[in-house]
A and B are shown apart, each in its own frame.
Chain A
Amino acid sequence: MTSNPLSNQPSNSKLWQPNRALSKSVETGVKTLFALFAFVSVITTIGIVLTLIFETVEFFQEVSIWRFLTDTQWTPLFTNQQFGIMVLISATLLTSVIAIAVALPLGLLAAICLSEYAPAKLRKWLKPALEVLAGVPTVVFGYFALFTVTPFLQTFIPGMQGFNALSAGLVLGVSIIPLVASLSEDALYSVPRSLREGAYALGSTKRETIISVVLPAALSGIVASFILAISRAIGETMILTIAAGQNPQLGFNPLVPIQTMTAYIVQVSKGDTPAGSLAYKTIFAVGMTLFLITLTLNIFSYWFVRRFREKYE
């Protein structure tokens, strides 16, 4: 491609002469520039990791890791400071478990419905409708949890407080149904028809085909969507800040106010905590914990998908 018979022509030729040197340098310039743009994503990751490590290390110079992991109270903003991260982790775990108990079964069933049962015309409408649900800002879900779901649940659950993990977790679950449904549906839809027909030929009913052939074939994609949903539930902030309260408390009672890791970060960010103070550093330590949890999930998902991916021609 670079060899160019035209360039040997005399310069007074009437023939059009492309400026090869210029276009070549433009090509190189563009390529380098765009490679740098792509590198911005790597810089972002480095930035996140450095930011978190830098402040976390400073935090652990003042508070021992042992105290961080074993204290049973979380009171960094009081004079009697205690730093039991388990308090925040237990709350995050509680809301995530509630959310996942809602989102995984419903999301998977919705995915099966979209991929296997819904007629093509209806599917064309259902998928965008679910995308609308996915596009609702989480602050709106928070409003919904606090002012609609909680009063509704309070009518038949006595002793339920205004801020609680249950309604926040339920609404959080609903908010991630579209994520599970959409990603799992992609995985189910890409399972080739021949596999289903093979199962029918052996005398399976539709449900048996779906459960024993289609679901296992799409397993890696489904698990990937589950893990993404779990990591979304753990990292979700606004629903939990608004509806679950700001009350750090160790335990798994879903009817009382609690405080998740993310809600704590918001609480401190909203106040006037001076940069460099211990309270300021705690949000980075909490952020680091959150980041490590989601990173672990991510790596597991990556490994799982590579290990169990089924390839069809």
Chain B
Amino acid sequence: MTKSNTEFTNLSDSGVNPNFDLAINKRYNLDKVFAIATWVATSFALLVLVILLIDVLTDGLGRLNWSFVTSFSSRRASSAGVLAPLVGTIWLLVITALISFPLGVGAGIFLEEYATDNWFTRLIEINIANLAAVPSIIYGLLGLQVFVRVMEPITRGRSILAGALTLSLLILPIIIITTRESLRAVPDSLRQAGFALGANRWQIIREQIFPIALPGILTGTILSLSRAIGETAPLIVVGAVGFITFLPQLSFKGLQSSFTALPIQIFDWVSRPQVEFHQNAAAGIVVLMIVLMLMNSTAIFLRNKFQQSR
């Protein structure tokens, strides 16, 4: 009884409930601390990126010259170069794109334009979401067993083809997801206009929807390809080698030859004890980053062009 009495008096004295402490200055100070913390977190991530780039550049630029790009791997660090891995990366890039683009875009079109909500589409959707979270090295194990061993008569074992097939499966879920997003962004009125003219669904997709969605699809595909190019683990499992001194022939036979790629070569050099090879690794990283940046700027260019035209 007395307690409630004092509460009542306090309340009447100050006009506010004593259990309610406004403390506005303290709260604003906490606000400032919190805001600063979020900025620090953001700048930290970017700072690490900057340090990483500067670090790699200072280590690698001294080693980087034209002969580094045009020489094969060598046991002597000073005469080793990245020709074979660079060409191998480009091979992987092209073949992976040729396989994964039609597959991913087709699957995306089916799921977004044709599929109704039934068990089959739901199965595929859950499945794609799951696949996107499977560690890439597991894809390597899949590639090792299926493309290297089971399909040996076609791929000739640890070959460029087996590597590219593995990478294709790896990025397929991403391409499907971006294709669906691009298609979803196309207004429905266009489809209805097509139907009103008597076109069937495929004609509408081919003539109207797909051309509009294409820049978005290409952007997503290039970004996922640039991820594939940076992948190392699945290719090591499939059987990429760190020491190759030839270029694959421009034929199906060439597809069946053993292969290497920039990240593989970098890993190979990093794992050696000599410091000179570590310098080579840094220079290789610079080359890899340049390839990635070229791809990413193409994607950004496409995205900007696409956004302006709408």
Contact = CB atoms under 8 A, between A and B. Distances in A.
B15 interface: no
A1 B191 CA distance: 14
B198 A39 contact: no
B110 A34 contact: yes
A129 interface: yes
A295 B145 CA distance: 20
A137 B135 contact: no
B301 interface: no
A116 to B, nearest CB: 8
A34 B233 contact: no
B38 A1 contact: no
B289 interface: yes
6 closest pairs, A vs B, by CB?
A: A235-B135, A137-B230, A109-B41, A113-B38, A34-B110, A237-B233
Interface residues of B, number: 90
A294 B134 contact: yes
Interface string B240-272: 000000000000000000000001001100110
8 contacts: A45-B127, A48-B141, A105-B41, A231-B135, A242-B270, A269-B236, A284-B145, A287-B137
Given A132-B296, A136-B289, 17 more contacts: A23-B200, A24-B200, A31-B114, A37-B107, A39-B124, A42-B123, A47-B142, A51-B141, A132-B49, A140-B56, A143-B270, A147-B59, A174-B45, A210-B34, A235-B135, A266-B137, A269-B237
Interface of B: 27-28, 30-31, 34-35, 37-42, 44-46, 48-49, 51-52, 55-56, 59, 102-104, 106-107, 109-111, 114-115, 120, 123-124, 126-131, 133-142, 144-146, 149, 169, 172-173, 176, 195, 198, 200-203, 223, 226-227, 229-233, 236-237, 239, 263, 266-267, 270-271, 278, 281-282, 285, 288-289, 292, 296, 300
Contact of B39 (A27, A51, A107, A113): A113
Given A38-B111, A206-B31, A294-B135, A269 B140 contact: yes
A135 B45 contact: no
Nearest to A122: B42
B134 A109 contact: no
A48 B114 CA distance: 27
A304 to B, nearest CB: 13
Contacts of B288: 137, 140
Interface string A202-240: 000111101000000000000000001001101111100
A181 interface: yes
Contact of B271 (A177, A207, A242): A242
A153 interface: no
A155 B200 CA distance: 69
A237 B138 CA distance: 11
Contacts of B172: 40-41, 44
Contacts of A85: none
A116 B233 CA distance: 37
A97 B134 CA distance: 19
A34 B131 CA distance: 19
Interface string A174-203: 100110010000000000000000000000
Contacts of A302: 126, 129
Nearest to B51: A148
Which of A132, A139, A294 neighbours the largest number of chain B CB atoms within 10 Å of its CB?
A139
Which of A30, A112, A178 neighbours the largest number of chain B CB atoms within 10 Å of its CB?
A30
Contacts of A174: 45, 48
B231 A137 contact: yes
B198 A138 contact: no
A290 B34 CA distance: 37
B242 to A, nearest CB: 8
A106 B45 contact: yes
A33 interface: yes
A31 B110 CA distance: 7
A57 to B, nearest CB: 13
B60 to A, nearest CB: 10
A77 interface: no
Contacts of B289: 136, 140
Given A51-B142, A130-B45, A291-B134, A207 B198 contact: no
A114 B198 CA distance: 47
Contacts of B44: 106
Contacts of A232: 133, 135
Interface in A254-313: 262, 265-266, 269-270, 275, 283-284, 287, 290-291, 294-295, 297-298, 302
Contacts of B137: 235, 237, 262, 265-266, 287, 290
Given A40-B103, A265-B137, A269-B140, A135 B232 contact: no
